[in-house]
Chain A
Amino acid sequence: MFKKSKFWAILSVVLVASMLLAACATPAPTAAPQPQPQPAPSDISCEGVTAGDQISMLYQWSGQEEERLNAILKPFVDACGVAIVPEASRDQALLDTKVQAGTPPDVVFWGSTQLKQYAEKLVAMDALGVDAANYADYWKAMGTIDGKLLGLPVKADIKSIVWYSPKAFTEAGYTVPTTWEELDALVEKMVADGKVPWSMGMESGDATGWTGTDFIEDIILVKQGPEYVDAVIAGTTPYNDPGVQEAYEIYGKWAKDEKYTIGGAAGTVSTNFNDAINKVFSTPPEAMMVKQSGFAAGQITTTYPTLVYGEDFDFFQVPGVKGLQGGADWGMAFSDKPAVKALFAYLASNKGGEEWAKVGFDLTPNKAGTTTYEDASLAKKAEMLAATTGFVADIGDAIPGFGVTEFRGVTDWVNGGDLAQILSTIAAAQAEGTK
């Protein structure tokens, strides 16, 4: 039986080694605990926090995004002497596993669907003593589950914008449209002038189609308004409702015709969404406008570093939208220890909002930040966000597991599918997702 005992010896060595490895994987705190807390500035409250307290954190940001978060949190970290123990991953399974194992991080920055998913495990903002006065009502409504505000929206981006070249518009004598009718007329005028109005490329690997569903949701916001979109998200308005169908038809009229978009239907489905942005700013431009989220600015300046915001590229709100479409990452707490309370108090405070805007990590829903953006394009988006009365999530993101069906549906529609058939397929997925 020598062999057997050797086997067990080897097995135990392997097990111990794997345990050691797992133990080593725990990240070290980024900030060393400070021996003595500095006297807190008047606008950051460190009540009950002992210097050296740790906050474990999980978020999806890495690289430059993570640096920005650190810059935003630095005044708080310095003032209270807490140590942040961060972990960055885009893998939702990691979060799910940690929560199911009963060892969730103290603080999570994640999407809005997790508010609902972990409604029973999250610590409500009231319990943390957070004053949410700096947040618009639609934000609070979005984050409230069963009467309790379960998180703070921290980083938002808006999707209802159209990018264009002011230079090209001036040369051709076009003006920025302010109503949907003006946009429609402008599109027809461009076609009459022999120009291609839209660049609508939507290729994005297995998520191909999401730029299409974004566009369609904006058309719904123009034609129906934010309450309608919320009803679709809640499942009370079926996806094959005439209102949605109308938006698909308007979108399809442009996306399938090479007079209106680069390459017609085949161009729309096979052009990558980033290339679609580039095509509006190439020399000569292949199209006049592209509807895309705020990140387009980064894509434009990366591809064409000499272009200047405000002269060579700019954006306008989708004309006539009754509310904005966008998304936000939410700060959520699984712990109510003093350091976490202080962190959320900081994020919700005027100081927190101002710092977020100053660093310029997309938009902060915290009203205090509205005027402190240093980046001109972010400041313009912040104005739009401050002025809007409604804000709706991306339908595809808001219904769990639904986006992939919606993306495929719009891809099939542009590629020649039957609309009624497609919409009823998507409606079935909507019914399942909202059940």
Chain B
Amino acid sequence: MAASFLIFKGGKMASPRVATVMKQGKWTPWFYVLPALIIMTVFIVYPMINTVGLSFLNKDSSASAATTCVEGEACWGALENYRYALTNEINTSTPLTAWNTFWTSSYGNTIKWMVFMVAGTVIIGLVFAVLADKVKYEPLAKSIIFMPMAISFVGAGVIWKFMYNYGTSQVQIGVINAVITALGGKAIPFLSQPILNTFMLIIVGVWMWTGFCMTILSSAIKSIPEEVIEASRIDGATEWQVFMQIMVPIIAPTIVVVITTMVINTLKLFDIVYVMTGGNFGTDVIATRMYREMYSSYNTGRGTAIAVILIILIIPFIYMNIKRFIQQEAIR
């Protein structure tokens, strides 16, 4: 919505001297976007408002959330579902337990995903984009990196679940534990060991999304004018300096877009965790917790409260993405 407003502002700056037939009334542009607005209202705006409304109600939306308060315990009235969503996972008996439980809560895990998956995909993607740019078999190399993108999240989750499998017998059907035991090590329960398991899941996410980052960064690198690079080399810059001081600043806007896109991706991440651990063993992320409250516990109030928190967390990144998009449009 914000985007369309800003684009209209640009449109109004059109020259005043045009033929009458070309003139558009004040309301005409709105008719062009009317179908989109109707669809947006029905499928996005209304459900969103409804979700916010439901988040103030109890589990079957029959009364205010305030009625679910337990006597003698903290209560936020109509915001009770938000109290539950924000504090229930954290054990506040001592600062230490609060710290520890935070990092295995859905929020702590989502932060881990945001930091490590975004860093992993962007850095590895950038490295591949730069290196692949210099070799003859570039299309082949890039295709291989990009291929996991063609697999569905659920499919990737199942594949990696097998790879991480912890066999209890002498035969390990999980390839990683098979290698470890063949080398004389002890099998590791990758998916059920807290702390370790979230990182094993993040690896799956990085494996899937590196190709996406690489492709976009690669096209940005290709658009860098050859003269600039050549000039810097002639001036005696090393390859590292060319990369850090010429390439990265030029493609910085693209890097920011890739980062914000990946942040949005990780915030709403659901499939990998749901398929591989079901959110057990301290691997919950916000989206899997929302799903569980909504569809396993049938608690609409809490489920929607978590959904609203998720929306609020995502909005700044969407805003950044749109702002960047408008800036780019303005340049064109």
Contact = CB atoms under 8 A, between A and B. Distances in A.
A409 B99 CA distance: 21
A269 B189 contact: yes
Nearest to A201: B168
A377 interface: no
A411 B275 CA distance: 17
A326 B165 CA distance: 31
Interface stretch (A24-32, A70-78, A398-406): A398-406
Contacts of B292: 206, 404
A3 B278 CA distance: 50
A206 B59 contact: no
A204 B274 CA distance: 11
B259 to A, nearest CB: 30
Contacts of A204: 278
Contact of A206 (B91, B194, B278): B278
A267 B168 contact: yes
Contact of A411 (B35, B169, B193, B280): B280
B278 A286 contact: no
A266 B192 contact: yes
B35 A401 contact: no
Contacts of B35: 7
B91 A270 contact: no
Interface residues of B, number: 28
B281 A269 contact: yes
Interface string B253-295: 0000000000000000000001100111100000010001000
B160 interface: no
A431 B34 CA distance: 50
A269 B31 contact: no
Given A269-B192, A270-B189, A270-B192, A411 B281 contact: yes
Contact of A3 (B31, B68, B70): B31
Contacts of B217: none
B76 interface: no
B279 A206 contact: yes
Nearest to B299: A401
Nearest to B164: A270
B238 interface: no
Contacts of A411: 280-281
8 contacts: A201-B168, A263-B168, A266-B193, A269-B280, A270-B191, A279-B168, A403-B296, A415-B192
Nearest first, the 9 closest Cβ-Cβ pairs linking A and B are A206-B278, A263-B168, A266-B189, A401-B297, A267-B168, A404-B296, A270-B166, A262-B168, A269-B192
Interface of B: 31, 34-35, 59, 68, 70, 91, 165-166, 168-169, 189, 191-194, 274-275, 278-281, 288, 292, 296-299
